[in-house]
Amino acid sequence: MANRRWELPPGIALLMLALLPGGEGARGNEISPEKTLVWGVGLRSEVVLPVRYFFIQAVNTAGENFTLSPGKNPFTVKISSLSSEHLRVHAPAPLDRNDGSYLMRYRLYGSTEEGLKIEILYGEKHVAQSPYILKGPVYHEYCDCPDVDFAHWQASMSCPSEDLQISRDFSVFPHVDLKQMLREVPVRFGPRTGIIHYTILNNKIYRRTLGKYTDFKMFSDEMLLSLTRKVHLPDFEFYLNVGDWPVESRQFNETPGPVPILSWCGSAATRDIVLPTYDVTHSTLETLRGVSNDLLSIQGNTGPAWGSKTDKAFFRGRDSREDRLRLVNISKEHPELLDAGITGYFFFKEKEKDLGKASVIGFFDFFKYKYQVNVDGTVAAYRFPYLMLGNSLILKQESSYYENFYIHLKAGKHYVALREDLSDLIEKIKWAKQNDAKAQTIAREGQVSARELLQPSRLYCYYSMVFQMYAERQTSKPEIRQGMELVQQPTDYSSFCSCHRKNERDEL
C-alpha cells in the first residue's frame, strides 16, 4: 500500500484557517452558492458506512469563509436514486456546527444499482458542484458485498499507512505466537475476565467465549460483521477483552513476555493492543437509528456560542471513581466556579446522603457551560470524545488510562490538563476565566482535531489497520477451534442487495 498519512481535505484546511484567532468571519454577508465548499466521503459511491456524511462550508461573495452560523437551515439537500427504483433514505436537515459549516448525514435502507443524485441547494440555486452523481452500484450498510482487494478498499477509504498508537502497540509484538496464546490466555485470563476468542477465516467470523463477563461480545460482533460486509479481511485469530480494564500486565522485558490481547482501553501499566471503545463503535454503527448521542449528532448540538455560555465548569456522572466524589466536594466549596454532581450511586452508596444526588441532564445541555471537567470512571471516561466535539474547554484529569486517539492530542493545545488528585482544578478554572481568548483557542483547536480524528471512516480504518498488522505477525495459520460458532450476517429483508463484486469474483 502506498505511503499515505492523514491529510486534511482542502475544505477543512480552509475552515481551520478561518478559526484562527483574529478571523472575524463573514457574518451578515450573503452566501455565495458557487463559492461555498462541499466535501466528504458521503459524496463517494465506493465508501460504504452505516451513515454517510459530508460537509458544507458557507462562503460569502468575497470568497471568505463564514466563521459563525449564517442562519438556520440555509441549505437544502435532496437525495434520490438515479433510477425509478424505490429507495428509502433517511436524510435529516444538515446540522449547523455554529462555525459557518454544516454536517449532512444520510442513512440508506437499500442499495441502488444505478446510483444516487445528491442536490445541495441554497434557495433555488445549486451549491458548489451540485448535483453530485454517485455512480452505482451504491450499497447500504447491511449489504454483504466486501471488496476482495484489501489495499484497494483502504485506499478508497483514504486510510493512512500508519497510526502512531497502532505502531506503538505492536512494537512490543514483532511476532504473534498463536500456540503460546492458545496455551496461556484461557488459563491466565479466562476465569476472571471476559475474553472472546475469534477466528476470521475466508471472511467468516467464528468465536467462543472465555470467562463470566462476555455479554459485551454483541458490540465486537456487530463491528466485525459490519467490517466483513465491506472488505475481505485477512485470515487471523485473536483474543478480545470485552471487560473495562486492560489485562496484559507483563512487560516486554519479562520472560515469558506479554501476549497481544486486544482491548477497548489501554493503560501505562499494561500492554494490550487498543481498539476504539465499544461505546464509540456502537454509536457509529447506530447513528440516525438506535442512539441519541453519536459522534456526528454532537457536532450540531454544542450549545450557545462561546460568549453566551455559563461561565462555570460542569460535571455530571456516576460514582464510578472516588475522584468524582472529591469533585462534588470541591463544587460545594466553590459553587460560583464549578457545578458538579453525581447522578447515580453504585460504588459509594454510603456517600449519597452527604453529597446528594443530582438530576440527570441531557448530554447536549452540558455544552451550555464554558468548561467541561473530564474525570476517569472505572477506566478512561468514555465521554471524552463526545466532550471534545463540543465547543467548550475540556479540563482533563491526568490519567494512566487512554483510548486509541489520545496519542494525537496535547495538553495546553487541545485541552487543559488537571492533576490526578484535582488539586489544581480551581486554579485552572480561574486561569481560563482570566484568559478567555486563550481558553477559547484551546477549545477550538481541540474541537477541530476531534472532528478529524473521530470521523466514522477513520474508525473503520483503525480497526482494519490493527487487524492487518496483527495478521501479518502471526507465526502459524488460524483455525476454527473446538467450541467456536459461526457469527451469522443478517439474512432478513433489510440486508437484501445484488452484489456485483461477488459476481465479478465468481467469474474469475
pLDDT in tens, 198-239: 999 999 999 999 988 899 999 999 999 999 999 999 999 999
The CA-atom distances, in angstroms, between 108 and each of 87, 138, 494 are 8, 9, 10
Q: Report d(CA 21, CA 441) in Å as an integer.
A: 7
Burial 81-92 (b: 16+ CB within 10 A, else e): bbeeeebebebe
pLDDT in tens, 113-161: 999 999 999 999 999 999 999 999 999 999 999 999 999 999 999 999 9
In the prediction, which pLDDT does 369 show?
98
Is the backbone peptide bond immediately before 256 cis, with ω within 30 degrees of 0? yes
The alpha carbon of residue 469 and the mean position of all alpha carbons in its chain are separated, in whole angstroms, by 21
In the prediction, which pLDDT does 278 show?
95
Is the backbone peptide bond immediately before 131 cis, with ω within 30 degrees of 0? yes
In the prediction, which pLDDT does 26 show?
45
Asked if residue 240 lies in contact with residue 220, where contact means CB atoms within 8 angstroms, the answer is: yes
Mean pLDDT of the chain, nearest integer: 92
In the prediction, which pLDDT does 86 show?
86
| Nearest alpha carbon to residue 285 among 232, 366, 365, 230 | 230
Asked if residue 60 lies in contact with residue 66, where contact means CB atoms within 8 angstroms, the answer is: yes
Got the DSSP string for 144-177? Answer: ---BS-HHHHHHHTT--S--HHHHHHHTT-SSB-
- Flag residues of the chain having pLDDT under 50: 1-28, 503-508
In the prediction, which pLDDT does 188 show?
92
Considering Cα of 301, then 303, then 307, then 313, what sign does the dihedral take?
A: negative
Sole residue written with cell 458557487: 34
Q: Which CATH number fits domain 297-454: 3.40.50.2000, 3.30.40.10, 1.10.10.10, 3.30.9.10?
A: 3.40.50.2000
Q: Report d(CA 147, CA 158) in Å as an integer.
A: 15
The one-character DSSP state at 105 is E
In the prediction, which pLDDT does 51 show?
98
In the prediction, which pLDDT does 190 show?
78
| Nearest alpha carbon to residue 329 among 341, 344, 345 | 341
Give residue 158's identity as a one-letter amino acid code: S
In the prediction, which pLDDT does 8 show?
47
pTM: 0.92
Q: Report d(CA 425, CA 128) in Å as an integer.
A: 46
Class of domain 10-143: mainly beta
In the prediction, which pLDDT does 502 show?
57
* In 296-382, beta strands by DSSP E: 310-318, 338-344, 369-374
Question: What's the alpha-carbon Rg for the chain, to the nearest Å?
Answer: 24
> In terms of DSSP H, where are the helices of 255-309?
278-285
Instruction: Report phi then psi at 15, rounded to 5.
Output: -65, -40
Domains in the chain: boundaries: 10-143, 164-284+457-488, 297-454
